């Protein structure tokens, strides 16, 4: 089963609002990845994080690697309708390349 | 550069049959991983291949197998299909030593 706890499960927001989601684990991760999946497609890599405390941006998206190595956050600023999709966190477990995925956050943006 | 391609995109099989899915990675990517995605269990790691060798394996029964060819293309096989095998099967490729995986569009398998 999954070992990454992702929240919230779903979000319904108005266009223009900011969004924040997070991922936590009881295990240490040495890399955190954030993906977005749209219907009928595979996940697309958005941001990769490699160091504890690292803050990385990709356009309106910003992600952070938690200091404890057990959590990560993704923020989307000024949301637009095309942000709709399911956002997943993922990472290989420490000392183990077994890639784990969170259950996903389903984002709906109302125009 | 072309992305990861998977064939077929859709497949319908009946219980007891077997199925083979194909994945062509991004050119230059030698690592190929397979995942099963279902609404109930989410994305679950099946196995990873690198240089024609299985490097990691997830917690799936032996009915699930795979292989990789010298050109890095990969196939996965599911034998004796069960209703619960209905899922989206995703393939992802990456460069050696990188955790950044690039996914294909998936193969939607329905078992009746």
Per-residue confidence of chain B (112 residues) as pLDDT tens digits? 689 999 999 999 999 999 999 999 999 999 999 999 998 888 999 999 999 999 888 899 999 999 999 999 999 999 999 999 999 999 999 998 889 999 999 999 999 9
Test the A interface: residue of B24, B32, B38, B42 with most A CBs within 10 Å: B42
Chain A residues bordering chain B (beta-carbon distance below 8 Å): 1-2, 31, 33, 35, 40-45, 48, 88, 90-92, 97-104
Q: Which of A2, A48, A98 sits opposite B42 (nearest CB)?
A: A2
Give me the mean pLDDT over the A35-39 stretch: 95
- Unique residue bearing structure tokens 């989206």: B88
User: HSE of B99 in the Cβ direction (CA atoms, 13 Å)?
Assistant: 23
Which residues in chain A are closer than 8 Å to B35, comparing Cβ atoms? Answer: 101
Reported in sequence order, the residue ranges of A1-111 that DSSP labels E, i.e. its strands, are 4-7, 10-14, 19-25, 32-37, 44-49, 55-58, 61-65, 71-76, 85-92, 99-101, 105-110
* Cβ atoms of residues B48 and B102 within 8 Å: no
pLDDT class of A1 with cuts at 50, 70, 90: very low
Residue of B nearest to A40 (CA): B105
Confidence of residue A99 (pLDDT cuts 50, 70, 90): confident
Encode pLDDT of A65-96 as tens digits.
Answer: 999 999 999 999 999 999 999 999 999 876 56
- Residue A50 has φ and ψ, to the nearest 5°, of -125, -15
Å between A105 CA and nearest CA of chain B: 11
Q: Give B105's contacts in chain A (Cβ within 8 Å).
A: 40-42
Nearest-by-Cβ selection for A99 from B4, B33, B106: B33
* Residues of chain B contacting A88 with CB distance shorter than 8 Å: 43
Coil, strand, or helix at residue B98?
coil
Q: Evaluate if residue A108 carries a pLDDT over 80.
A: yes
Q: How far apart are the first and last CA of chain A?
A: 36
């Amino acid at each position: 089963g999954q070992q990454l706890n992702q929240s919230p499960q779903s979000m319904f927001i108005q266009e223009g609002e900011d969004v924040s989601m997070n991922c936590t684990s009881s295990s240490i991760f040495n890399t955190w990845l954030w993906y977005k999946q749209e219907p009928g497609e595979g996940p697309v890599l958005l941001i990769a994080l490699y160091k504890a405390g690292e803050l990385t941006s990709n356009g309106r998206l910003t992600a952070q690697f938690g200091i404890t190595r057990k959590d990560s956050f993704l923020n989307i600023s000024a949301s637009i309708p095309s942000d709709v999709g399911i956002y997943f966190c993922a990472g290989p477990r420490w000392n183990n390349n077994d890639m784990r995925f969170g259950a996903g956050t389903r984002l709906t943006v109302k125009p | 550069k072309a992305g990861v391609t998977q064939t077929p995109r859709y497949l319908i099989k009946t219980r007891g049959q077997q199925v083979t899915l194909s994945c062509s990675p991004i050119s230059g990517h030698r690592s190929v991983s397979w995942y099963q995605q279902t609404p109930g269990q989410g994305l679950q790691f099946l196995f990873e291949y690198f240089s024609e060798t299985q490097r990691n394996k997830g917690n799936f029964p032996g009915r699930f197998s795979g292989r990789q060819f010298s050109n890095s293309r990969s196939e996965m096989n599911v034998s004796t299909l069960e209703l619960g095998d209905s899922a989206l099967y995703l393939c992802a490729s990456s460069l050696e030593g990188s955790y950044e995986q690039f996914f294909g569009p998936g193969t939607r398998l329905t078992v009746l």
